[in-house]
Structure 1
């Protein structure tokens, strides 16, 4: 049996679920901008992405890290989702 992992936010999540959630949140183009790998930028699909990520530990680590960052990010309406875009200044 597996032991509970209360300090592991990825425990119980499949790689497929993580990729689907990221695609739903960022879209393929946004995901490809954040993690520049071919399976996200050239004819992307869930199947090809899963195949690549399962064989490539460094890419899987980047995907998991991005997923954790999206969980921690504030979900305020209008919040910038692109890390390359500077936050807008409030009108005073």
Structure 2
């Protein structure tokens, strides 16, 4: 049977399915840059000495901030 693994099944209603937090953040930084990202999402890890690594550490521990990043990603046209 094809697609026996639930992780491999398509999820048409979930635009974040299969997209890692690192991929989301990288695409947002490429599109907006750190300054604009910090303006759109007011968190210090984007405003003060930002890096993908430090931002991922913060976002993985902070659900409300991760949600803001996910919402911005879903609303952004790439």
Q: How many residues align?
A: 72
Higher relative contact order (CA 8 A, sep 6+): 2
| Structure (1 or 2) with the larger CA radius of gyration | 1
Gaps (5+ residues) in structure 2? none
Q: Are 1:69 and 2:49 an aligned pair?
A: no
Gaps (5+ residues) in structure 1? 76-92
Task: Map 1:40-79 onto structure 2 (within 5 A).
Answer: 40-71=46-77
- CA-based RMSD: 1.3
Structure whose residues are more often helix by fraction? 2
Aligned match of 1:2: 6
- TM, length-normalised to structure 2: 0.86
Moved >6 Å (runs of 4+): none
- TM, length-normalised to structure 1: 0.74
Q: What is the deviation of 1:6?
A: 1.8
